[in-house]
Structure formats: C-alpha cells, structure tokens
Structure 1
Amino acid sequence: MFPALIFDMDGVLVDNTPYQARAFQLLFRDLGLTTNARQLLQRLNGMPATNILKTVFHNPIPDKQLKEYASQREFLYRTLYWNKRRAMPGLVAFLEAARAAGHKIALGTGSPPETISYIIDHLDLRRYFDVVIGKADVAKGKPHADTFAVAAAKLGARPADCIVFEDAVLGEQAAYKVGMRVVAVGSSLKEKDFQNPCAYIKNFTGFSPERLQELLKTQPQVPKPDKQRAQRKYMNL
C-alpha cells in the first residue's frame, strides 16, 4: 500500500515565505505596528491571514477590517512575488515519480482559490494533484485538522495512510491531530523547530518515493500532538 501524499502549498511547493513576511512587514509599517513579521510567521505560519492579523492588535478588530488588511497584504505579496514564482527544487521530479509509483496526491492549504491558482496554475502543478483543498473547502483552517481530514476523505485514504508535507509548526500539529505522519520541509524553519517528523528535508532534490518508504519504516506510529504546543493561546484561534 502506497501512502497518500498531502502537500501544503506555501513554503512547500514554493519557497515564498520571505515574500509573505515582507508583505506582512510592509502592511505593519502602514498600520504603524512594530511587530516583527518573520518572527510572527515562525509561530503562526499556516494559519489564514485574518487569524494571523488578529494576534498583532491589542484591541479587537472587526472582521470586515481584518479582511481588508488581509487583502492589502495579499496584493503586496503578489506584487513582490510576481516574477519570483518557482517550484521548490526537485519538487516536479518528486511529484512525477510519486504519481508513477501509484501514490494518490492532494494539496491541502489554507489559501483561497485565487491564491492557489496564482501558484499552482502559473507553475502548471495542478495536473499532479488528484484533490485540491483550500480555505473555501473547510470550516476551520490550520491549526485545526479539517484541511488534512477533508483531503484524506476526498482521496479515499485513511489518515494513518497519509503523509503530510509541511513547513510550519502549526501544520505539523494539525497533521498529528488527525493521525497523519509528517515530512518537514525546512524552507524557513530548522529541524529542531519541529516536533517529530519522520523526515526533514530542505527541498525535494534527491528525495524519492523509495526514500520515503524507507523513512516510514523508522516511524511506524503516528506521533501524538504536543500538548504544550497545543495549549498555546494561538492554537485556539
């Protein structure tokens, strides 16, 4: 049985986290905020932009205003990243090999449809995915497990038979919550930042479905979510 593969998008399919952080930083500057965007994304990356923005204000902000700020950030990000869109090194070769080997493949991201298209259609990646799950397809995004649970259901796979490729701590915790193992992609975080992935890779260069199968044998059981991490305030958003 080949495990089903579920890929996050930002920081996994593409190495775009620095541009995401820069867009947040420019927004914060316009709003007169001094929050360090890079440090913020180290903790909260993977969550919807509106939820990330909730954490930087001392007083409650109306949802309509948060959505306007998120739209402004999205415009800044797309402008900064427009000519920089590239697939993660080795990604296409790995996806092609995984499909040839018989793996079912899904995309599981917190991004809305237009942002998904901005990446995967521009890079002609959609053809590699049997299922695409985004913000519009789930009630709650990461750190909740809905995104990965729905992706598995659409693939017809049990959670225990799914491997999630994630670059964010919250995404890793979401995978463990639903009973899936994780390959950590270290595009922006170090190996020590993750809890217990079955593998840590900087990108997909030299990585293969055969190597993945070998690594899975070293972790027969899915790790439990880290209670200390799960109890952090931002996990309740």
Structure 2
Amino acid sequence: MLKRFYPSRDYEALLFDFDGTVADTMGTHLEAWNLGLAAYDLSLSKEQHQTWAGIPTVKIVELLNQKHGTQISAENFLKEKEVHYLASLGTVKSIVPVMEIIQHYHGKLPMAIVTGSRRKIVELTMDHLGIGKYFDLLVCAEDYVNGKPAPDCFLKAAASFNIKPQHCLAFEDADLGIQSAHSAGMDCLKVTADMQLLSLPVSR
C-alpha cells in the first residue's frame, strides 16, 4: 500500500503524529485555545496555530507570554484548555486516508502515535474514535524533554521498537513535525490540509 508513495522502500515500523494526522482535531484545539485565551484578551490565528503545531501547550503559553508580555500560568491554562477541548470531543473525527493505511498494516507492522499532546487527551480522543487497538505505543508530551522539531520523540519511538530510525516511516501534517522526523533520519509522508498524502523523502 505504501509502495505508491515509496516504490523502492520497505519499512519496519510506522510512526504517526496524532492531531491533524490521525485525528481531525486541529479546529477543535484552536477553538479551545481561543476560549481559554479570551480571558486574557488574546487570540490565536489559524495560521499561527498551524505554525506551532506539534509544540506542547505549556511551551506555546511560554511563547505567547514572551510575545505579548503576559504572565499566563502555563499549568493553569493547560487545564482550562483541556476542559474546553473535551467539551467538544464528540465532534472529532478520524482522517480517513490515514486510517485506511493504519487498518491495512494493523498486525503487519508495529505502529506508534508520536505527539506533542498530553497522554490523557490523546487516550480520550482515541477512545472516542475507537482506534486504540491499532497502536502498540504512545509517545506523548510527558515522555520526552525536547519537543518537535527536535528528533527526540521519533527517536524514542524507534528505540522502543528496537528498530533503526531509517527503517521507520513517519506521518505528519505540520512543518515542525516533518523537520522532527527528518532530523531523526526518517522518511515522512505529509498529510495535507485537504487530507491527501504527499511523500517527503529525507536525503540520506
């Protein structure tokens, strides 16, 4: 199935970003951001949200504080944003082309979620979508120090599978995530805004 993207490559593991790649959550997350930020007379544009996709919420709050001279408590805001997100969880759907690949390779290749989101939110979203059974591993924001575009999260997933990074294929929708996968030495498929897949090989 992946041969139409990488005709000459076989992979030993598939590593998926979550938000915007497996689950169509970006609009829900943006709404949660802006509901939370309204209390501080701030807002986050769709473009800025996408630019920062893959960065943990706590780090984004730090970036907003630097940008606007505010003193928003990152930990308090994280809790507020999660409440807003979970209130709209029922509207979240999976991304069909990616799920078709996941279902096709289930039981054939090990698969992991590699995300900048917190484990609690990812697990609740996966439960809502009924897709937890497809994944052997979750690597979430609590599991590493340096977020995307650093390669740490993808390298951790590869190491957990005891598979060399160059034998893993990553799936990403955001530029920072693509940089992270490439920095880890992995090929990457990009999930575009219209939910199509584009091949993004890394130079070896």
- Work out whether the TM-score is over 0.5: yes
Could you tell me the TM-score, scaled by structure 1's length?
A: 0.74
Aligned length: 193
Q: By how many angstroms is 1:71 displaced? A: 1.4
Structure 2 contact 166–186 (Cα < 8 Å) conserved: yes
Residue 76 in structure 1 maps to residue 69 in structure 2: no
Query: Structure 2: how far apart are the matches of 1:223 and 1:20?
Result: 33
1:106–1:155: 8 Å Cα contact kept in structure 2? no
Q: 1:151-201 CA deviation, whole Å, 9 max, x = no partner?
A: 0111121111111111111111111111111111113xxxxxxxxxxxxx7
What stretches of structure 1 move > 4 A for 4+ residues in a row?
none
- In structure 1, stretches of 5+ residues that fail to align are 188-200, 205-211, 225-237
TM-score, length of structure 2 as denominator length: 0.84
Q: Secondary structure at the match of 2:91?
A: coil
In structure 2, how many angstroms separate the alpha carbons of the residues matched to 1:69 and 1:36?
14
2: distance between equivalents of 1:124 and 1:59? 41
**1:86 positional shift:** 1.9
CA distance in 2, matches of 1:104, 1:148: 14
Gap runs ≥5 in structure 2:
1-9
The residue aligned with 1:95 is: 102
Specify the code of the residue in structure 2 equivalent to 1:173.
Q
Matching residue's letter, 2:189: V
SS in 2 for 1:122: helix
Q: 1:175 aligns with which of 147, 171, 181?
A: 181
Aligned-pair CA distance for 1:113: 1.8
Percentage identity across paired residues of the two chains: 27
Change (3 A) 1:60 1:25: closer
TM-fit CA distance, 1:47: 0.5
Change (3 A) 1:22 1:223: farther
In the alignment, what sits opposite 1:45? 53
Distance 1:103 1:12 in 2: 18
Give the letter aligned to residue 109 of structure 1.
T
Match of 2:14 among 5, 25, 39: 5
Q: Do structure 1's residue 129 and structure 2's residue 138 form an aligned pair? A: no
State the match for 1:146 in structure 2.
152
Looking at structure 1, the residues matched to 185 and 49 of structure 2 have their Cα atoms a distance apart, in angstroms, of: 24
**Which range moves more in the overlay, 42-51 or 117-126?**
117-126
Deviation at 1:10, TM superposition (A): 0.6
Q: 1:3 to 1:69 in 2, by over 3 A?
A: same
Does residue 59 (structure 1) correspond to residue 69 (structure 2)? The answer is: yes
Q: For 1:176-195, what aligned pairs fall within 5 Å after superposition?
A: 176-187=182-193
**Partner of residue 202, structure 1:** 195
The answer to whether 1:36 aligns with 2:32 is: no
Provide the secondary structure at the position in 2 that maps to 1:87.
coil
**1:203: Cα distance to partner?**
4.4
> For residue 140 of structure 1, what is the amino acid of its counterpart?
N
